Structure 1
Amino acid sequence: MGTPYDVTEQVGHLLRRVYQRHLAIFQENVQDPSITSVQFVTLCVLRDRGPSSQTELVRATAIDQGTIRGIIDRLTARDLISVSRDDQDGRKVIMALTPAAHALLGDLIPSAARISDLTMEGLNPAERVAFLYLLRRLLETGTGARDDEAGQEGN
């Protein structure tokens, strides 16, 4: 019999645990506790890319269609994003940041940098660079899995 399979030592399990830790740090340290990490990412993408369709948000955030729709609804209800029809294609809906969202992001960005630091707190500067490099490499060298399967955990 070979080496026993210990699920707690597998990459999927370890990544999920690190992500859970990061989410807890986010909620403890974000300036506005009513903002979730996925809402924050969505706001940052709209800040960086400008007005975007739902499909563009899905691609840029790696958040699935159903989840992004709920995020859009919640951010719209808080007057953080506006929703309008595309000038060229009236069927296409475009999301954009409101002035309130720009102000909120101005408050959140400093705490976001601290959240990243706290997530990697146990790593020295070289390990932090290596860790981020390896995460990006894993994303670049996928096995051909479709983006919409990104939310499924593998061990």
Structure 2
Amino acid sequence: MPELNNEYIIEDQVGYLLRRVYYHHLSIFQQSLDETQLTSVQFATLYSINKLKECSQKELVTDTGIDQATIRGIIQRLKDKGLISQDPDHLDKRKVLIHITQQGKEELKQAIPIAETITDLTLESLNPAERIALKYLLQKIIEQKAK
């Protein structure tokens, strides 16, 4: 059995740090958004559907960054809650288009100010310049992945 590298410190690794911050953010999200009955991924999906006006499941995967298998379940749960609807595409009957319902718009309208507060709570230990820098750097990593 090979000997462990004592120079490796997991607490210094970016994946470890991102995961810890993500769990911290999710904890705040779950505590704060309880009144809307949306999970963080349901909120992100509903937001994207509203933004895109109508979209296919594939377009939703691209816009949210949520994988195909997960998005199917999210779409079904949002549909079961009456927040979205699905209709056949008039041009391509094999394709299904997803739309936000009026109830979904109302739920989203209620959730957005809460989501803004969640971001503020997640970043509360950072000063304004650090917040801008963090968002910039995270976006830069996301954009690099897209290339």
Q: TM-score range by the shorter chain?
A: over 0.9
Equivalent residue, structure 2, for 1:110: 113
Considering fraction of residues, name the structure with more helix: 2
TM-score calculated relative to the size of structure 1: 0.88
Q: Give the aligned CA root-mean-square deviation in angstroms.
A: 1.6
Unpaired segments of 5 or more residues in structure 1?
Answer: 145-155
Query: Contact 2:36 / 2:110 at 8 angstroms: preserved in 1?
Result: no
Q: Please report how far the alpha carbon of residue 30 of structure 1 lies from its aligned counterpart in structure 2 after TM superposition.
A: 1.2
Q: Check if 1:29 corresponds to 2:32.
A: yes
Equivalence map 1:1-155=2 (5 Å): 4-30=7-33, 32=35, 34-142=37-145
TM-score calculated relative to the size of structure 2: 0.92
Q: Percent identity?
A: 48
Higher relative contact order (Cα pairs below 8 Å, separated by 6+ residues): 1
Query: Contact 1:82 / 1:95 at 8 angstroms: preserved in 2?
Result: yes
Aligned pairs, how many?
143
> How far apart in 2 are the matches of 1:81 and 1:38?
14
Give the 4+ runs in structure 1 shifted more than 6 A: none
1:105-139 C-alpha deviation (Å, 9 max, x unpaired): 11111111000000101000010000100101111
Over 3 Å counting, the alpha-carbon distance change for 1:126 and 1:52 in structure 2 is: same
